[in-house]
Amino acid sequence: KADELLKRALKRAMASGDLPMQALLGSNLAMSSYLRNQSEEAWDWADRSVAIWKKNQRQFSPEQAVETLLNAARTMSYVRMADPQHRVYLEEAVRLSVAHRDQVFPVTRALGLSALANSYHAFDFRYAEAYPLIQEAISINRADPLRQRALADSLLTLGIVARYLGRADESEKAMEE
């Protein structure tokens, strides 16, 4: 089971004092718990992961920080959709991924950009703010032929955002690509 593997890895990270790995594994356990319909457990794992990051930010590489924040924030947004707390972590993940562009994998940056764009448009109807984020995610996803599913998801988001911004032609084009 994935959970058992994650928990074994977490025990090793705890034994070695590797706080970034503890936070990253905890954020993975958060998503795993959510997928097993264990919403409160998922929230707790996500919250603990973010707490480790908050107290020990200097120990995290930019990639570790961004992945931890993304995993935790995405889980939080699924568990408590109306709770905007996840947005703070998505915004920080995107900020870090842009500031440390050379130290964060493009795929990780694209995930963050897409997640934040979706949060802006789906929760707050902030289409103008979502628009440049999803455009950048599309550029990253287009550059990698293995990212076709992510590209399709990003194009769908662009279609929605463009339509609400009154750009019907662009919306239609995104849906036809």
- Model pTM score: 0.91
Chain-centre distance for alpha carbon 78: 11
C-alpha–C-alpha distance, residues 80 and 119, integer Å? 12
C-alpha dist (Å) from residue 24 to 6, 37, 46, 69, 89: 10, 20, 9, 8, 14
Instruction: Quick: pLDDT tens for 61-104.
Output: 999 999 999 999 999 999 998 888 899 999 999 999 999 999 99
Instruction: Quick: pLDDT tens for 92-114.
Output: 999 999 999 999 999 999 999 99
